[in-house]
């Protein structure tokens, strides 16, 4: 069946079914019923002859037999107009229905055919479950079971939300309210949901908004990420010209997209200076001040209490792991080098995490849970008032709802005494850390670049690790950190996340 035929059919289809399940008898007493996954199983158990589909389905009487198929927008349902169900007319058609206890409303979405909206963003079905606690909204392929308390808490009407400031007007009585809707309906050509509550208040939500904001929501950037080994990226490094980056929105967008997709971006043709580097990064956001100041430069002069200020090689790591919120982006430009070595190493930490998750899920879990302290200790000296920073964080941070990787905190140089893992779990922790370290150290993951004056390198310090080979000669690297919240905010404002 074509979508337009399906639309006519669906337009006329609905049913009110009592009880949590559509029982065999009341199912058979209906001419037509739209049903959910559980009902489908019921059907199957009753071995109704039908075209079985594991998703939401349409079920109709057909020459005395029952048939079933998906009403999913992608499905081409093989049926003929003559097989259209005889639709049972009842109050549901009027647009809304009063819900009593243990009454299950199953209402068809209308006008599949007339939609100019993206089908994937339509509320294609609404269903209220038996215990009256949640509404089931199907958006494209996704079924969201949204508790009424959440919907009421997220009501965007003027009463509960200030659209001028984008802030909530908190509802202190939320839990005292009768959180059962009187009426539910689909609005605006299936793109939204309207709830009229028992106290008369009305809330409206667009399907798109529900999809983006209800559990698990979006961790952000995940869809656009491309995990890499060096071979995937070395022939065509993510880059943008200084002129594009500085002068056009499109250029800046490209810089940020590269950071979201690959976790790195080179800006070519920049002035080989601290100020020139600052101008590049300030297109993105303000510089993050840390114990190293705002814009900094370093060489092998042992000015600070860190191996970075030597010519020694450094394995892949992320920076500022000793801060509760590690720096968001690491920026480097090589201003001078008249010696050998000193190549920059880059490793995609999210690719390493993904590899660990797949090959050793137990180790992955351990590193998501075990809190690993990091620290930066520096005695007072002419360059420093003295510092002792100390942080508690996990090596891997995953999104609490979706499980998507959000952050890698990995710096074996800056680990503080491990007093956060119980003695009996130590062996398991060390094994897991070792597994990840070995994946990170694999040659195929290592991207080596020799930075030269005029190229600014931006690295997502929550994802991509950096390091360097040992060097000699005079080498000056300048750069800064950019705060995580602000660069991500810029990407959101530009519509990239």
Ligand X SMILES: O=C(O)CCC(=O)C(=O)O
473-492 residues in contact with ligand X (CB under 6 A) are: 477
Binder of residue 466, out of ligand M3L, ligand X, none (CB less than 5 to 8 A by kind): ligand X
374 interacts with ligand X by CB under 6 A? no
Please identify, using beta-carbon distances, which residue of 69 and 393 lies nearer to ligand X. 393
Stretch that binds ligand X, among 68-76, 90-98, 434-442, 461-469 (CB under 6 A): 461-469
Please identify, using beta-carbon distances, which residue of 112 and 296 lies nearer to ligand M3L. 296
Minimum distance of ligand X from residue 225's CB (angstroms): 23
For 479, the enclosing helix (H) or strand (E) is strand 475-482
As a whole number of angstroms, the distance between CA 315 and CA 323 comes to 20
Binder of residue 411, out of ligand X, ligand M3L, none (CB less than 5 to 8 A by kind): ligand M3L
Token pair recorded at residue 439: 């994946």
Binder of residue 467, out of ligand M3L, ligand X, none (CB less than 5 to 8 A by kind): ligand X
Token pair recorded at residue 207: 């399907």
By three-state DSSP, how is residue 298 classified? strand
Residues 251-290, one symbol each (x = binds ligand X by CB under 6 A, - = not), give ----------------------------------------
Binder of residue 220, out of ligand X, ligand M3L, none (CB less than 5 to 8 A by kind): none
Minimum distance of ligand M3L from residue 374's CB (angstroms): 8
How many Cβ atoms sit within 10 Å of the Cβ of residue 474? 12
414 interacts with ligand X by CB under 6 A? no
Q: Find out whether 337 and 311 touch, Cβ atoms under 8 Å.
A: no
Contacting residues for 71 by C-beta, under 8 A, at least 6 apart: 6, 10, 34, 56, 57, 58, 77, 108, 124, 125
Binder of residue 314, out of ligand X, ligand M3L, none (CB less than 5 to 8 A by kind): ligand X
468 interacts with ligand X by CB under 6 A? yes
Token pair recorded at residue 12: 């006329």
Binder of residue 27, out of ligand X, ligand M3L, none (CB less than 5 to 8 A by kind): none
Residues 12-51, one symbol each (x = binds ligand X by CB under 6 A, - = not), give ----------------------------------------
Minimum distance of ligand X from residue 283's CB (angstroms): 22
Dihedral sign from CA coordinates of 472, 478, 483, 487: negative
Minimum distance of ligand M3L from residue 321's CB (angstroms): 6
As a whole number of angstroms, the distance between CA 229 and CA 242 comes to 26
Strands 405-408 and 296-298, sheet pairing:
unpaired
As a whole number of angstroms, the distance between CA 10 and CA 211 comes to 23
Binder of residue 136, out of ligand M3L, ligand X, none (CB less than 5 to 8 A by kind): none
Exposed/middle/buried for residue 313 (C-beta within 10 Å: 0-12, 13-18, 19+): middle
**H/E/C letters for each residue in 136-169?**
EEEECCEEEEEEHHHHHHCCCCCCCEECCCCEEC
313 interacts with ligand X by CB under 6 A? no
The string of DSSP codes covering 174-230 is GGGS---EEEEEEETTTTEEEEEETTS-EEEEEHHHHHHHSTT---SSTTT-----H
Minimum distance of ligand M3L from residue 416's CB (angstroms): 12
Token pair recorded at residue 364: 């992955």
Binder of residue 462, out of ligand M3L, ligand X, none (CB less than 5 to 8 A by kind): none
Binder of residue 214, out of ligand M3L, ligand X, none (CB less than 5 to 8 A by kind): none
Strands 464-468 and 387-394, sheet pairing:
unpaired
Binder of residue 421, out of ligand M3L, ligand X, none (CB less than 5 to 8 A by kind): none
449 interacts with ligand X by CB under 6 A? no
Please identify, using beta-carbon distances, which residue of 112 and 292 lies nearer to ligand X. 292
Applying CB under 6 A, among 122, 136, 244, 319 the residue interacting with ligand X is: 319
Stretch that binds ligand X, among 8-16, 192-200, 260-268, 466-474 (CB under 6 A): 466-474
As a whole number of angstroms, the distance between CA 467 and CA 456 comes to 16
Residues lying near ligand M3L in the complex (CB under 6 A): 292, 296, 298, 306, 308, 319-321, 411, 413-414
Exposed/middle/buried for residue 438 (C-beta within 10 Å: 0-12, 13-18, 19+): exposed
Token pair recorded at residue 272: 């080989």
466 interacts with ligand X by CB under 6 A? yes
Please identify, using beta-carbon distances, which residue of 306 and 355 lies nearer to ligand M3L. 306
314 interacts with ligand X by CB under 6 A? yes
- Bridge partner list, 247: none
- The footprint of ligand X (CB under 6 A) covers 308, 314, 319, 344, 466-468, 477
């Amino acid at each position: 069946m074509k979508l337009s035929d399906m639309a006519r059919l669906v337009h006329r289809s609905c049913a009110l079914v009592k009880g949590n399940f559509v029982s065999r008898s009341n199912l058979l007493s209906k001419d037509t019923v739209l049903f959910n996954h559980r009902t489908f199983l019921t059907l199957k158990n009753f071995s109704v002859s039908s075209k079985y589909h594991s998703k939401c389905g349409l079920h109709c009487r057909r020459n005395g037999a029952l048939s079933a198929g998906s009403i999913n927008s992608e499905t081409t349902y093989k049926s003929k107009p003559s097989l259209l169900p005889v639709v049972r007319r009842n109050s549901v058609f009027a647009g809304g229905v009063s819900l009593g206890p243990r009454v299950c409303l199953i209402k068809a979405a209308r006008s599949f055919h007339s939609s100019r909206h993206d089908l994937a963003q339509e509320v294609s079905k609404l269903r209220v479950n038996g215990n009256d606690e949640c509404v089931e909204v199907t958006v494209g392929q996704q079924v969201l079971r949204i508790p009424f308390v959440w919907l009421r808490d997220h009501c965007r009407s003027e009463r509960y939300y200030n659209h001028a400031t984008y802030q909530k007007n908190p509802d202190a009585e939320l839990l005292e309210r009768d959180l059962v809707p009187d009426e539910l309906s689909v609005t605006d050509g299936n793109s939204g949901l309207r709830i009229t509550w028992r106290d008369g208040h009305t809330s409206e939500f667009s399907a798109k908004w529900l999809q983006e904001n209800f559990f698990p929501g979006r961790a952000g950037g995940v869809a656009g990420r491309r995990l890499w080994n060096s071979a995937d990226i070395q022939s065509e490094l993510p880059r943008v010209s200084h002129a594009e980056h500085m002068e056009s929105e499109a250029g800046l967008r490209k810089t940020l997209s590269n950071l979201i997709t690959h976790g790195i971006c080179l800006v070519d043709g920049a002035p080989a200076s601290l100020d020139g580097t600052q101008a590049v990064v300030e297109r993105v956001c303000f510089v993050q001040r840390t114990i190293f100041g705002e814009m900094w430069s370093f060489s092998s002069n042992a000015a600070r209490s860190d191996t970075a200020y030597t010519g020694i090689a450094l394995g892949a790591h992320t920076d500022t792991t000793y801060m509760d919120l590690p720096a968001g982006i690491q920026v480097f430009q090589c201003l001078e080098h008249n010696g050998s070595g000193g190549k920059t190493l880059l490793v995609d930490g999210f690719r390493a995490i993904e590899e660990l998750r797949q090959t050793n899920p137990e180790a992955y879990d351990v590193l998501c849970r075990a809190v690993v302290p990091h620290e930066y200790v520096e005695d007072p000296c002419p360059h420093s008032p003295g510092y002792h920073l100390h942080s508690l964080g996990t090596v891997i941070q995953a999104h609490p709802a979706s499980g998507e990787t959000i952050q890698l905190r990995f710096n074996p140089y800056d680990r503080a005494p491990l007093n956060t893992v119980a003695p009996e779990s130590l062996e398991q922790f060390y094994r897991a850390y070792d597994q990840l370290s070995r994946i990170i150290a694999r040659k195929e993951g290592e991207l080596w670049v020799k930075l030269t004056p005029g190229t600014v390198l931006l690295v997502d310090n929550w994802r991509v690790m950096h390091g360097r080979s040992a060097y000699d000669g005079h080498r000056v690297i300048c750069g800064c950190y950019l705060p995580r919240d602000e660069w991500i905010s810029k990407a959101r404002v530009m519509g990239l996340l």
